[in-house]
Chain A
């Protein structure tokens, strides 16, 4: 903790001393509102739940999360502060974890600020608040998964645009892995067994998020997002260590 907390504190401070945090939060809130009311027609549907609100989170994260994660390492590499960071007496895992946790907390703050819609739905009807809490937890976990992917890919390059594009592509693949388009394409490949196809499908963020949105936080879904985050952060540490070798 002694190693990890200073990084976490600096990173969090970094969000709020620049306009980044405020721009991100405003756009996130505006976009969730717009999608919920305009695209998903939450108001017209007249049902007392937040399905319409949560349903679009994966697609919103697909673009907004890489915008947060792209700078995590690429910017440090570009400005040379990476050299400073890696020569401070801090283990690499602590830097990786500190940066990730700060970014995750930050998106958590943005997510928490959508609370007025929760108040609204409670004012208008009698929603199942257990389902809503589960959905918030699921959305938060999914954001962590996207962030871990983005953080790793940001460590590969000093160019933030490349980091962004790579992250969107990889996050997209993880999002849609369970959709028929992927399963059907995979099934076309010769020798592809149904076991492989269903394994690919099981990596889908959408599938796991939707099962949480049903109101049940299944241990398997927690383990899934936990291992996605853990795996990508390990890749992140390895990428940084490999860069040390030139």
Chain B
């Protein structure tokens, strides 16, 4: 079997006049963790429902481990572990009964079933609640029952719709680690609204908007598209604000700045003229000769959130990412006091 576990070509889904997915094509290889990003209604869940064979595509072709989902649905579905949105489970069953049922339907019986269930339960830490009715469990436990169900048969392809939704920070951390542990042997697709999660677990991020791919790349590459990439944030005491502003405006490598008043001080965010250069070097060189009341100074890696908003709120979304002059659009309105030298 080749390493291309999921192959999608020209995928379209229409619901009446509404086009939910509009010509998606991509593939996911073994070892990749693909993070699906996008606003609500962008087509993320619909795409996942089509990959897993719940919905039939209007057009296009999906192959999972070499099996066409339309014509060899059961073979494709055997290769997939799926956590649907909201992690639905049979609430009247206990996790033990539920996981036994899943093993049963996946053709895992007897000792193999016990081993598979024990393994999935250990990975999702469900031991304590195995004999309680699922509907009486907390949201976090219910979600983990859903994850245990998805990984039970050790599938080569794992599709998870918002796997950490409803989990507390510790549980989120555990689930992310679980995904990272499994990553080398599987092709994993997760959808999420939590952008830090993409940075934490995904080897690749894909932003979908109105049913189309608007950005596809490594998370850090995507972050470097942010205008915050290599920007510098500096907090200066009230007495030196005017002087600081004048000094910053005189530095050529600073293309723009943002000010935000905080308690007895002012927070400047300085944007680099060249995003590939480390602006913090210039700023610290500047500070050496000055005795300002500097309370904080740090370089920004970039903000995925800002890239996300910039891409998904722009009208010509695909172009926006390549044209720096368009970047401020849809962003300044939310960012306190903005100023630009240009």
Q: Which residues of A contact B (CB under 8 A)?
A: 2-3, 5-7, 9-10, 13-14, 17-18, 79-81, 83-84, 86-91, 244-246
Contacts and interface: CB of A to CB of B under 8 A. Distances in A.
B84 A89 contact: no
A81 B90 contact: yes
B92 A84 contact: no
B262 interface: no
Contacts of B58: 246
Contact of A7 (B82, B92, B105): B105
B15 A246 contact: yes
Nearest to B93: A17
A79 B91 contact: yes
A201 B37 CA distance: 59
A2 B105 CA distance: 8
Given A9-B104, A89-B78, A91-B74, A84 B84 contact: yes
Interface stretch (B47-55, B179-187, B251-259, B302-310): B47-55
Interface string B120-156: 0000000000000000000000000000010000000
Interface string B13-38: 11100000000000000000000000
Leading 5 A-B pairs by shortest Cβ distance: A80-B88, A6-B104, A89-B77, A87-B52, A89-B78
B276 to A, nearest CB: 44
30 contacts: A2-B107, A7-B105, A10-B104, A13-B97, A14-B92, A14-B93, A17-B97, A79-B88, A79-B91, A80-B86, A80-B88, A81-B90, A83-B84, A83-B88, A84-B84, A84-B88, A84-B89, A87-B52, A87-B53, A88-B102, A88-B105, A89-B105, A89-B106, A89-B107, A90-B74, A244-B56, A245-B55, A246-B15, A246-B55, A246-B58
A-side interface mostly: helix
A246 B106 CA distance: 26
Interface extent on B, as a size class?
20 to 34
Given A13-B93, A81-B90, A245-B56, A87 B84 contact: yes
Greatest chain A CB density within 10 A among B54, B75, B85, B91 is at: B54
B107 A244 contact: no
B116 interface: no
B92 A17 contact: yes
B90 A244 contact: no
Contacts of B97: 13, 17
Contacts of A88: 77, 102, 105-106
A17 B98 CA distance: 12
Contacts of B77: 87-89
Interface in B88-121: 88-93, 97, 101-102, 104-107
Contact of B84 (A18, A80, A244, A246): A80
Greatest chain A CB density within 10 A among B15, B52, B105 is at: B105
Given A83-B49, A87-B52, A87-B53, 10 more contacts: A9-B104, A10-B90, A14-B93, A17-B97, A83-B84, A84-B89, A87-B82, A89-B78, A90-B105, A245-B56
Contacts of B102: 88
Nearest to B13: A246
A220 B336 CA distance: 81
B93 A86 contact: no
A141 B203 CA distance: 58
Contacts of A17: 92-93, 97
B80 interface: yes
Contacts of A87: 52-54, 77, 80, 82, 84
Contacts of A244: 54-56
A243 to B, nearest CB: 9
Given A83-B49, A89-B74, A6 B105 contact: yes
Contact of B101 (A2, A6, A80, A86): A6
A81 B54 contact: no
B98 to A, nearest CB: 9
B264 to A, nearest CB: 52
A86 B54 contact: yes
B160 to A, nearest CB: 12
A84 B106 CA distance: 12
Contact of B90 (A2, A14, A83): A14
B84 to A, nearest CB: 4
B133 to A, nearest CB: 8
